């Protein structure tokens, strides 16, 4: 009886440990390759904004002109976030979202449209 319980617990433990790869949660192996492909397909939000005749450099200049820092990544400096913060904001998230929305509106006013999913027109990378 004891041997039977040991075998059952060993089989259950083995099945539990191996199930991570079945759901793409292992660190190495075939599912890690899938994870890598997923990460490569993710583009920064600024890369999704496209317009006719743009270049990567012209988009980067427009991203900066609309108030974001960085290149295709849309980031804001801490002092920008603090300046956008309102008294009833419990944290910086609402201020960041306001800045992001203002930034997107500025990009649209420059003729950009948001493309989802990103394709070759995104010029990224």
- The full set of domain ranges for the chain reads 2-40, 45-122
Place of tokens 């991203």: 63
pTM of the shown model: 0.70
Condensed to tens digits (0 to 9), the pLDDT of residues 35-67 reads 777 777 789 999 999 999 999 999 999 999 999
Per the rule left: phi > 0, alpha: psi between -120 and 50, beta: everything else, 67 is left
The pLDDT assigned to 39 comes to 77
Please give the average per-residue pLDDT across 87-95, as a whole number: 94
Q: Phi and psi dihedrals of 42, rounded to 5?
A: -80, 125
Answer yes or no: is pLDDT of 108 > 70: yes
Cα of 93 vs its chain's centroid, Å: 16
Quote the CA–CA distance of 49 and 60 in Å, as a whole number.
Answer: 10
Highest averaged pLDDT of the listed ranges 28-37, 94-103, 116-125:
94-103
What is the helix (H) or strand (E) element at residue 49, kind and residue range? strand 49-50
Distance, in Å, from the CA atom of 8 to the CA atom of 82, rounded to the nearest integer, reads: 58
Average pLDDT over residues 82-106: 96
CB 14 within 8 A of CB 22: no
The residue among 81 and 16 whose pLDDT is bigger is 81
- Residue corresponding to tokens 């002109």: 65
């Amino acid at each position: 009886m004891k041997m039977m319980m040991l075998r059952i617990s060993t089989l259950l433990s083995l099945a539990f440990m191996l199930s991570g790869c079945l759901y793409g949660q292992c660190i190495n192996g075939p599912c890690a390759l899938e994870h890598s492909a997923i990460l490569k397909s993710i583009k920064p939000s600024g890369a999704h904004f496209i317009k006719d005749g743009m270049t990567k450099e012209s988009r980067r200049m427009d991203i900066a002109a609309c108030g974001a820092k960085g290149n295709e990544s849309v980031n804001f400096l801490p002092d920008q976030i603090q300046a956008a913060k309102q008294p009833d904001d419990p944290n910086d998230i609402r201020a960041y979202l306001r800045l992001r929305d203002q930034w997107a509106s500025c990009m649209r006013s420059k003729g950009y449209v948001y493309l989802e999913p990103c394709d070759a027109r995104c010029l990224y990378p």
